[in-house]
Homo-oligomer: A and B are copies of this chain.
């Protein structure tokens, strides 16, 4: 899958660099887009599309869309009034480098641009009806009914112990919704059969929860140099986590259960999808 990363990153970079916009704003947008994330969402999208059809420019464009939305959410989440994080992936956060005002505006611009990428796809690669459907699904996944709603619930849950159900709801909104969009968008682009789209959504929801459990485990067990932030920062920030609510061992078992369910969903697809299986095993074994 890593073979797709350079083209994806070039797509992101070119899109921002060629915009007719103030240079400082473009710098702030590129700073966070360049910050070397795992690119898990676009890679899932490309792997899904590629399971049905050869990978085209359109897959990178849609991948860039979802990475822009993810990056905007990180910039805003890191702000002093939210999680107040000074570093992310071992680098100073956006507002630490560009100031709060520009960080907010860079996030706003990334969110807005993500819709422009969908709107600018050629009709041959994505029929207008499908493009509109994905634009609608992206708003559901990323707005008040999805990621933004999850962030609100997460902030409201700070400094109190939430139940496992509440924690699961928060992560379904905050993390799984956008991952599910990415996988579904890949399916739509690859013209996957309708029954596969449903299974792909199940797969993505399980991956979303697994991803969060793994993140929580890394925060307890990882090393600062690999995860790019201080170990134990969740506890320090009074965040409820899976190992906190369960135990490290139970959280690991739960992680494994979600990975198994995701595998099961993949096995039921009408195509083999080896790249999606590869993402899964990376998910379980990753150390950052």
Contacts and interface: CB of A to CB of B under 8 A. Distances in A.
Contacts of A22: 144, 149, 152-153, 156
Total identical chains: 2
Contact of A148 (B25, B115, B144): B25
Nearest to A128: B128
Interface residues of A, number: 52
Interface string A5-46: 000000000001001111011100100000000000000000
A95 to B, nearest CB: 8
Interface of A (DSSP majority class): helix
B102 A79 contact: no
Interface in A210-242: none
Given A119-B139, A144-B26, A148-B25, A76 B104 contact: yes
Interface of A: 16, 19-22, 24-26, 29, 72, 76, 79, 81-82, 99-102, 104-105, 107-109, 111-113, 115-116, 118-120, 128-129, 131-133, 135-136, 138-140, 142-145, 148-149, 151-153, 155-156
9 contacts: A24-B152, A81-B99, A102-B155, A112-B139, A112-B142, A128-B131, A128-B132, A132-B135, A135-B135
